[in-house]
Structure 1
Amino acid sequence: MQSIVNTFGRVLRRSLKSLPPLQPHRDLRLQLAWNYTQLGLLLLPFSSLLGVLACLVGAIMVWRQRFRQMITQPINWGFGLLSLLMLISAALAHLPQDALLGLFNFLPFFFGFAALSELIQTPAQLRRLAWLMVVPSVLVVLIGFAQLAWGWLGHQQIVHVQILWIVIDWVIDPNGTPPSRMSAVLTYANVLANYLVITFILGLGLWIETMLGERREARGKGLGARGWGLGKNGETADQSAICNLQSAISNLRFHKILLTSAVLLNVAALVLTNSRNAWAIVIVACLIYGLYLGWRWLLLGAGALAGAVLGAAFAPSPIREGLRAIVPAFFWARLTDQLYPNRPIPTLRITQWQFALSLTQQRPWIGWGLRNFNPLYEAQTHFDLGHPHNLPLMLLCETGIPATLLFLGLVGWMVFRGLVLLWSFNSSRFPLFSGRQGSRFQRNQRRDRLILFSFLLAFLSNTVFNLFDITLFDARMNLMGWIVLAGIWGVSKREEGGRRREEGEMRKEK
C-alpha cells in the first residue's frame, strides 16, 4: 500500500508541475480570491474545514471587490428572496431550532455562489477547476481501495484519522459504510458515488480533450519541416520551436496517462460503491459523450454494457438466464434488489416520497421547516432516515411550494443559459468562443466548448443523482455542486455581457 501511495505522490507532483501552480486571473484585483478558491478546491475532499474555509475567504474577497456590481444582478436578487422565504419558513417551523440549523446547508452557499460566479469568467478557469477536482479523486479512490482491502484481510477495527480535532477527521470502517460498500474519506457510500460521478465526467472530458490535442500535436510534428520553416535539407530548422513542440507532446502524453488512470480508477470505485444511481448516470453520461463527439465505439460500448446488465436483471427467460451466465450477479442482483431482499416498507423511497407529498399538502406555503422531515417521519414509522431521498420533495415539504419553485427556477435558468451558450458557440454573437475557421482560435473554441459541455453534463448528472438521494448534507458535495454551477453561470454571464456591449457599440457606430 505504501508503494502505491508513493507512486501516486510522484505522479501528483509531476502533474502539478505541468500546470501553473496557481492559475492567473484576468483581473489582478481578484487574483488572491482565485488563489484561495483553487487551494480550497484541491483540499476539499480531504478536509471539509480547510476546503470550505479557503473558498469562503475567497468569496468574501470577491464581495468586497465587486459588491456594487453583484447587488445589481437579478439572479442575486432571486437568491436574496429565496433566503428570506427560507428564514420565514424556519421561524414558523414545526421545530424551529432544527430548521435554523438547516439554513447552514443553503444560505452560506448562496453567498459563496454569488461570489464564485463573479470570480469564474473563462473556459480556462473551468478547465483548471476540473483538474483540481479530478486529480485529488485518485488519492480518494486509493484510500477507498485500502479501506476495503483492510477489511478483506480480516481487520475489523475502525480507523480514525484525526488532526487538530476537525481539520482532518476521517472515520474509515474497513467493512465499508454501509457494509461491503466503499466510502473512503467520505461519510457514506452514496456520497462517494455522487463525488465520483462528478469527477468521472469531468475527468472523461479532460481525457477526450487531451486525446484530441495529442492528435493535433502529432499532426503538427509530422508537418514540422513545413510548419517550422525548414529548408529542403532541414538546415534552417528552428530547433527551439521543434523542442517546444516535442515538450508539448510529452506533456500531453503524461496528461493522457494520468487522466486514463484517473478515469479507470473512478470507474472501479464507482462499481465498489454499489450505487445503482451512479451506475446508471455514468453509463448515460458515456452515451451522451458518444453522441456529442460522434464516437460510435463509445455509444456501442456503453449501450452494450447497459443492455447486458439490464437484460440479466429484467429480460424474459431464457434470455435472462443466458445473460446471467455472463454478467456477474453483483450487478444484476443489485438492480433486482436480490442483494437486499425483504426491506422494511419505511426504508423504500416510494414510501418516503409519499410521506413528503403528504406533508406538502398539509403546509404548502411555508413547509414544516428544514431538517424537520426526519423527526416527523420517525414519529410516524419509527425509522430514522435523515431525509426523503429526493431534493425537490425535501424542499417542498420543508420550505413550501413558493420557495421550491423559486429555487428550481433560478437553477434551471442558469443551466438553460449555459445550454444556449453551448448551442451558440459558432455564432459571432459570442466573441470569446468565435474564431476564424481552421485557425488556432477555432481549435481553442472546440476545446472551450468541450469543457463547458463537460460542466453542464456534470451538473445535470449531479442533479439527477439528487432526485434519488440527497448529498448536500456533506459540505464537500454541497460546495462542489455550487462551484460547478457557478462556473457555468459565470462564463455564460460574461459572454452575455460581452454580446450586449458589442451590440451597444454597433448601435453607436450607426
Structure 2
Amino acid sequence: MINNSSFLNIKNNCSNNVGWSCFQLGVFCLPSSALISYLFLLVALIDGSLKRRDLYWREYWNYPLLLVTFLMIIGCIRSHTGWLAWLGLFNWLPFFWCFWGLQPYLLTPERRKKCASWLVLGSLPVLITGFGQIWLGWEGPWKIFDGLIIWFISPGGEPIGRLSGLFDYANITAAWLSGIWPFCLASVVHPFIFGRNRAISCAFLISFVTAMILTESRNAWGAIFLGLPLVFGSASWSWLIPLMLIGFLPVIIAVLPVFDFGIQQFARSIVPESIWMRLTDMQFADTRPFEATRIGQWKIGFNLIFEKPWFGWGAAAFSILYPLRTGLSHGHSHNLPLELAISHGLVVSLLINLFVFSLLLISFFYKIFNNLNLQKNIIVDRAWWTSTLILICFHATDIPLFDSRINILGWILLIGLRCMIYNSTINNNSLKKFEKALC
C-alpha cells in the first residue's frame, strides 16, 4: 500500500502551475473539441507524471492496470483482427497512464469542485447546439478556428427527433449529460459554480434535465431518477423516494402490461407518447428481428466468448463477426464487460471490472457512507460518486466509451474516486500542504 506521506512529497514550486492550468482548460474544452482538450490534458499529464515519477511502483492501484496491459498486448499478438486489435489499445492504455499522472489535479476536495464546475460550464455548447437543432432546425457542420473545431450538427437530431447536439449520436449526448447533471443538482443544493447564485444553477439544472429527456435515451431517463436520491443522500430517502415513486407511477402503469386496459390507456393519455413507446419499444415491435435486440446481441457475444475465452478475438471483433453470423451490422455488443471479454478475454474483463467496482465501493464506504450531511465539499464528492455510478450503468446496456470524450470523462471520475480514498487516509494538515505545493 502506498505511503501517503510519500505521495505528498512532490517536487514542485509555487511558480509552476502550468499543469493545473492546462488540466482546467482541458476539462473545459472536453465536450467541444477532443483535439484541443487532449493537447491541454497531455501537458498536464506529463507535468503530473514527472512530479511523482518516483512513486509509481508504490501505488498498488497501478498493478491491475499493468497486468491488463500485458494481457492485452499478448491478445493482440494472437488476435484475429490484425491491426484493428493494436488500434483498439488506444481506447485503454493511454488512460491507464492518465489514471496515474492526473491524480495530483484531483487530490483535494477543492480541486474536484473546480473540475466539476468546468465540466458543467464546458457543457454549455452541448445544450445550445442541442436545443438549436431540435427547436430551431440548426444544421452543421460548424467550423471554428479555421476548421480546428468542427461540430456536425444534424437538423432535428441524430437519430431524427432525438437531441444530439455537437455529438455524433443522441445516446452519446445522453451519456455526457447524465455524467455531468449530478454536479448541477449539487450546485443547487450548495452553490459552488456561480458563487452563491442559485438562480443560474437552477437554470443549468433545468436545461440539463430537459436536454436529457429530449435525447430519448432510456439510460438518461433512468439517470435522472437515480441521481436525485444519491446526491441528496440517505437522510432524504424517507420523503424523496416515496415522492419519486408517486411521480413515476403513471409511467409504470403506461409501460407494464399487467394493468387493466382502461387504467393503462388513461395513464398513456397522461404520459407523453414518446416516453411510453420508447420504454416499451413498441415502435420496433414489428420490424426488429431478435438478433438486433440487446438480448440477441448479448447471446451472440456469449457464444464468441465461449469460443475464445482467454485472450479474446481482438478489438473490433464483434463488429466483424456479428454480421457474419446474423446478416445484421452493429459496431459493438452494447455491454462493456461483454465487449472486453470478446475483444481481450475473460481475465482482462474481470480485472478491469474489479478495478472499477473496487474504486466505487471503497470510496463509497470511506467518503460517502461516512458523511451523511450536505456540506459543500461532501455533496460535491457525493455528486462525483453518483456521476461515476451513472456512467457505469450506461455501459451495462451501451458503450459510449468509444467516444473519446466520454472515455476521458469516465477516467477523470475514476481518478476522483481514488483521490477521495486518499483524502480519507491522510490528515487535513497534510492535505493543505499538498494543495499549497500544487499552487
TM-score of the alignment, normalized to the shorter chain, above 0.5: yes
The answer for unaligned runs of 5 or more in structure 2 is 1-11, 432-439
For 1:180 and 1:62, the matched residues in 2 are separated by: 43
Identity %: 30
Deviations 1:381-402 (A, max 9, x none): 2222110000000011111111
Deviation at 1:491, TM superposition (A): 2.7
Deviation at 1:493, TM superposition (A): 2.3
2:376 equivalent among 424, 440, 447: 447
TM-score normalised by length of structure 1: 0.77
Q: Which amino acid aligns with 2:275?
A: F
Deviation at 1:288, TM superposition (A): 3.2
Q: Is the 8 A contact 1:418 1:489 kept in 2?
A: yes
* Structure 1 residue aligned with 2:224: 282
For 1:350 and 1:394, the matched residues in 2 are separated by: 14
* Structure 2 residue aligned with 1:361: 306
Q: Which amino acid aligns with 1:341?
A: A
For 1:293 and 1:261, the matched residues in 2 are separated by: 26
**Equivalent residues in 2 for 1:119-268, closer than 5 Å:** 119-151=105-137, 158-163=139-144, 167-210=148-191, 251-252=195-196, 254=197, 256-268=198-210
Deviation at 1:29, TM superposition (A): 7.3
Residue 48 (structure 1) aligned with residue 34 (structure 2) = yes
Q: Is the 8 A contact 1:287 1:302 kept in 2?
A: no
Deviations 1:224-266 (A, max 9, x none): xxxxxxxxxxxxxxxxxxxxxxxxxx941x2x11110111001
Distance change (3 Å), C-alpha of 1:30 and 1:489: farther
Deviation at 1:193, TM superposition (A): 0.4
Residue 105 (structure 1) aligned with residue 84 (structure 2) = no
Q: Is the 8 A contact 1:49 1:166 kept in 2?
A: no
* Structure 1 residue aligned with 2:278: 334
Deviations 1:364-413 (A, max 9, x none): 11011111111011221222211000000001111111111111111122
Deviation at 1:200, TM superposition (A): 1.0
The answer for unaligned runs of 5 or more in structure 1 is 1-25, 214-249, 427-441, 503-510
Q: Is the 8 A contact 1:425 1:449 kept in 2?
A: no
Distance change (3 Å), C-alpha of 1:494 and 1:32: farther
Q: Is the 8 A contact 1:181 1:189 kept in 2?
A: yes
2:236 equivalent among 276, 294, 314: 294
* Structure 1 residue aligned with 2:3: none
For 2:424 and 2:220, the matched residues in 1 are separated by: 33
For the residue of structure 2 that corresponds to 1:169, the secondary structure is: strand
* Structure 1 residue aligned with 2:416: 487
* Structure 2 residue aligned with 1:239: none
* Structure 2 residue aligned with 1:462: 391
TM-score normalised by length of structure 2: 0.89
**Equivalent residues in 2 for 1:464-479, closer than 5 Å:** 464-479=393-408
For 1:137 and 1:62, the matched residues in 2 are separated by: 25
Q: Is the 8 A contact 2:107 2:416 kept in 1?
A: yes
Deviation at 1:420, TM superposition (A): 2.0
Q: Which amino acid aligns with 1:190?
A: N
1:316 equivalent among 240, 252, 259: 259
Deviation at 1:185, TM superposition (A): 0.5
* Structure 1 residue aligned with 2:294: 349
Deviations 1:80-112 (A, max 9, x none): 111111111112111121111111111111111
For the residue of structure 2 that corresponds to 1:185, the secondary structure is: coil
* Structure 2 residue aligned with 1:271: 213
Q: Which amino acid aligns with 1:460?
A: L
* Structure 2 residue aligned with 1:406: 351
For the residue of structure 2 that corresponds to 1:339, the secondary structure is: helix
Deviation at 1:124, TM superposition (A): 0.9
For the residue of structure 1 that corresponds to 2:410, the secondary structure is: helix
* Structure 1 residue aligned with 2:246: 304
Distance change (3 Å), C-alpha of 1:422 and 1:495: closer
For 1:291 and 1:425, the matched residues in 2 are separated by: 11
For 2:340 and 2:391, the matched residues in 1 are separated by: 17
**Highest RCO, 1 vs 2 (Cα 8 Å, sep ≥ 6):** 2
For 1:182 and 1:341, the matched residues in 2 are separated by: 23
For 1:93 and 1:498, the matched residues in 2 are separated by: 48
| RMSD after superposition | 2.5
Q: Which amino acid aligns with 2:85?
A: A
For the residue of structure 2 that corresponds to 1:354, the secondary structure is: helix
Deviations 1:135-180 (A, max 9, x none): 22233112101011233xxx8xx51123467631211110311111
For 1:498 and 1:461, the matched residues in 2 are separated by: 30
For 1:293 and 1:144, the matched residues in 2 are separated by: 35
Deviation at 1:447, TM superposition (A): 2.2
